[in-house]
Structure 1
Amino acid sequence: MEPVYRGLGRCVCCFWLAVAFDIVGLAVLLIGVFVNVFFYDLLIYAGAIVIFLSLIWWVFWYSGNIEVPPAELEDDVGLLKKDKGVLGGIGGAVRRLSSRVSSGIRSSLRRNGGPASNRTGRAPTSVPQAEQVAVAMATMTPQEDIPHTTDSPPAGGDTGMPHTTQTSPI
């Protein structure tokens, strides 16, 4: 036997949280409006935000109390009536087509490798492997006796920095 819910319905906790958020938000908002403090704007905005967040609890409470008779749920959750058969009529054909398409998409996404057209018998395309590239890195040390100019590089193009080589995969 199903329990009988009176008054506030099934989601009493969500109802009281929504009411609490509304009361706290309204109190903070009214304090910001009527009390002479230098941070009144913060209180007004905070109260409005708390009242807005109470909408989440109201939606939870409302949607938790929606009652749908089991007769209306039969088609939505797969509870088919015995006299209709397993899959009958146009609805059955649509369900079969939908399940075939969705299972095909699901299986093609689960496979590792190429696109879904590999089922036609073509060889899978090879994925290029990552190459290693040499990157030259240099450290700079401050030199106080050489004047810094941006017009021309030093003679010979050598800056006096040691060169090191490090490889990293791309």
Structure 2
Amino acid sequence: MEPGPRGLGRCRCCFWLAVAFDTVGLLVLLLGVFVNVFFYDLLIYAGAIVIFLSLIWWVFWYSGNIEVPPAELEDDVGLLKKNKDGLRGIGGAVRRLSSRVSTGIRNSFRRNGAPSGRAQKSAPGPPQTRQVTVAMATMAPDISVSPEADCEVEMPHITT
């Protein structure tokens, strides 16, 4: 007979942290509600936030105690049973093809960005650089000020 997890399960630390966060959050929230202090709203919000953060520990505790039989994990995490003759059928062919393609792509990224996994060798020496000259000019808009108007500016007509 195997000793299984009893009571709180395997993740006791997460359970007790969740209980502590809930207790502290509830105490702070109730202090904010029932104690007459000028920062009661801060206590109410802080208590609610601490209670919300306890959900993280509850999720950790729950998900850490989920038990899945190894038979159900075979297909999901790559624990497939291999036949004596190796991989067979369409599934085996697809796996081999997928493995080759992913290995080829992985290798092509590792080797200086060369296509299909072959690294291109360059001649020794300083790297080739080109200098590009860009001419830029400042253009002022054509603004005319009429002498009759004080400080009124006529903007040029722009068509789009």
TM-score by length of 2: 0.65
Q: Separation in 1 of the partners of 2:127 and 2:63?
A: 49
Deviation at residue 56 of structure 1 after TM alignment: 1.2
Gaps of 5+ in 1: 132-170
Runs of 4+ with deviation above 4 angstroms: 82-85, 121-124, 126-131
Aligned partners of 2:14 and 2:57 also within 8 Å: yes
Gaps of 5+ in 2: 132-160
Q: Which residue of 1 aligns with 2:74?
A: 74
- Bigger shift: residues 98-107 or 22-31: 98-107
Q: Which residue of 2 aligns with 1:114?
A: 113
- Bigger shift: residues 38-47 or 86-95: 86-95
Q: Which residue of 2 aligns with 1:44?
A: 44
Q: Separation in 1 of the partners of 2:108 and 2:18?
A: 45
RMSD: 3.1
* Code of the aligned partner of 2:59: V
Q: Which residue of 1 aligns with 2:59?
A: 59
Identity among equivalent pairs (%) = 79
Aligned pair in 2 of structure 1 residues 94, 35: CA closer, same or farther (>3 Å)?
A: farther
For these two proteins, the number of residue pairs brought into alignment is 129
Q: Which residue of 2 aligns with 1:94?
A: 94
Q: Deviations over 1:8-55 (max 9, x none)?
A: 211111111111111111111111122111111211121111111111
Higher relative contact order (CA 8 A, sep 6+): 1
TM-score by length of 1: 0.62
* Code of the aligned partner of 2:43: L
